[in-house]
Amino acid sequence: MKTMLFVLMLAVLIVPCGLFAQQEQGKTPAPAAQGGTKVENAPAHPMSGCQMKEHEEMMSRMKEMDARLEAKVAAMDAAKGDQKVEAIAAVIKEMVSQRKEMQEHMMKMHDMKKGYMMEHMKGGMEGEAGTKKGM
């Protein structure tokens, strides 16, 4: 029963990772998949120096996370007997830890973007109010 529960938990954690791994990075969808409209992968404006630095730091963190996970998976593959179960648990703990870290980073980025958008909306509304008064 414990083994079945453990396998089920492992499957629940690994399946989403597999779905993300199947996506090809850096490639645009085929024209037929775009629905006839041109979709640009590049942002409307180039990244500033600060944004580029943050992007490079994020990519570096992701490479470090991948390396940690790969090391734990290699240890899991090499393990035998009871050590195999412990190695599987270590892989799951690492995956959960990385997922939490990525969610926290995504929320931070979301909050920053939301604040940026609110600033621009506020500035736009004040500008519109000023032009209406002048009429």
pTM given for the model: 0.50
pLDDT of residue 113: 75
pLDDT of residue 17: 60
Q: What are the tens digits of pLDDT across the range 104-117?
A: 988 888 887 777 67
DSSP-based three-state secondary structure for 42? coil
Q: Which of 107, 68, 65 is nearest to 90 (CA)?
A: 68
Average pLDDT of the segment spanning 50-73: 90
Compute the distance between CA of residue 107 and CA of residue 118 in angstroms, rounded to an integer: 16
Average pLDDT of the segment spanning 118-124: 71
What residue type is assigned to position 70 of the chain? Answer: E
Residue 86 scores a pLDDT above 80: yes
- Higher-scoring residue by pLDDT: 127, 86: 86
Look over the chain and give the mean of its residue pLDDT values, rounded to a whole number. Answer: 75
